[in-house]
Amino acid sequence: MQAPLEAMVFDRLKSVTSQDVAHAAGVSQATVSRVFAKRGNVQPITAEQVRRVAGELGYRPNVMARAMRTSRTGTVGIVVSRLGNPLYPLMLQTLGPKMVDAGLRMVVWSVDESDETCAIDAIKERSVDGVLMMTATAESSALREVVKSGLPVVLINRVVDGLPLDQVESDNRAGGTCVAHYFAATGRRRIALIGGPQAPSTIRNRDLGFRDQLAALGAPLKKQLTAYVENFSYAAGFAAAMRLLELATPPDAIFCANDVLALGARDAARRRGVRVPEDLWLVGYDDIDMAAWDAFDLTTIRQPINEMCQIATDLLVARIGGSTKTPGKTVVPNDLIIRGSTGRHPFPALG
């Protein structure tokens, strides 16, 4: 039985120190420190005794003091923008337990692309041991700052070429290639693309793979069947698809640079009475939860989020631990998830 919350005693400001524990246990403060810093060098019997007393007193090492002494905070910062895209909350949720396993606290900086100051301040103040960036671009000032600071940093999801950093991405280019092949080999005639700003490497590479493969197949993407949006929102996808569907000869297949755009596109088709998949095929990218929802039933490319998060965590942990391995890019493969928006048509054999 737990005591009712209302009845709980406040022990505000009590703050038991290692000194207190030392007195109570009849050892020196240094010994208490050794026990909790897990530095070995303590007789098991003494350690046990200290731990017991500490437990009774409710002692917890003061992280600030420890951080000041060791200049290690035990915290990593995650820089992410646009939490509105469900992909990022998902990555955050995946990352959480992995960081806990690694013994690291995680602070999330949800930055506006235009205002990254809070992240930058924290980096300058060295209040984290390392940084994980999920939405970096070459223009990111937080990225500049963290590189300049020499703090361990790992890029996940988006990468930035030419930087001596650990980077983890999925093979977005192959994803684009795969969709182009899927469309072409299943007889799609008027293939369209809804792309976006080229700053994020993810978008750039999907775009590239898609275009190159279409060109290689002798049916390069037509200019009038290409729509570039300003931002990756549902509304932008909706508007872009509307434009494409209003053409005299509208597309019979659209590849969208990410799922959120594709959901918008799907609704544009719904609005215009264009049937999916009979009149129009639609493919997105990311496999966010909503892609599987009945209303959308969207064929898409799934990035192995769990694997990417694990790799990124391991890399960051190693780097914080002082690894001097030459940093490099890790590229993991991703899968085409076939659903109703392409009539569940199986992936055709290559060649």
Q: Which of residues 44-73 bind DNA (CB under 7 A)?
A: 45-47, 59-62, 65-66, 68-70
Q: Tell the smallest beta-carbon distance from residue 35 to DNA (Å).
A: 8
Q: Tell the smallest beta-carbon distance from residue 147 to its own copies (Å).
A: 6
Which positions ≥6 away from 313 have C-beta within 8 Å?
95, 98, 99, 102, 132
CB-wise, 67 or 242, nearer to DNA? 67
Pairing type for strands 226-228 and 191-195 reads parallel
Q: Tell the smallest beta-carbon distance from residue 319 to its own copies (Å).
A: 12
Q: Tell the smallest beta-carbon distance from residue 347 to its own copies (Å).
A: 26
Q: Is 55 exposed, middle or buried (0-12, 13-18, 19+ CB in 10 A)?
A: exposed
* Residue-wise DSSP of 22-84: HHHHTS-HHHHHHHHTT-S-S-HHHHHHHHHHHHHHT----HHHHHHHHS--SEEEEEEE-TT
Vertex 82 angle, CA 80 and 83, to 5°:
80
What is the distance between the alpha carbons of residues 1 and 3, in angstroms, rounded to a whole number? Answer: 7
Which positions ≥6 away from 105 have C-beta within 8 Å?
73, 74, 75, 76, 99
For tokens 């799907």, the residue is: 266
- Among DNA, its own copies, none, the one that 12 touches (CB under a kind-dependent 5 to 8 A) is its own copies
Q: Tell the smallest beta-carbon distance from residue 13 to its own copies (Å).
A: 7
Residue 39 binds DNA, judged by CB under 7 A:
yes
Computed over its alpha carbons, how large is the radius of gyration of the chain? Answer: 26
Residue 198 binds DNA, judged by CB under 7 A:
no
C-beta neighbour count of 87 within 10 angstroms: 26
Q: Tell the smallest beta-carbon distance from residue 303 to its own copies (Å).
A: 17
CB-wise, 69 or 275, nearer to DNA? 69
Residues 70-129 that bind DNA (CB under 7 A): 70
CB-wise, 177 or 233, nearer to its own copies? 233
User: In the set 29, 226, 231, 310, which binds DNA (CB under 7 A)?
Assistant: 29
CB-wise, 16 or 219, nearer to its own copies? 16
- Residue ranges that bind DNA, judged by CB under 7 A: 15, 17-19, 26-31, 33-34, 36-37, 39-43, 45-47, 59-62, 65-66, 68-70
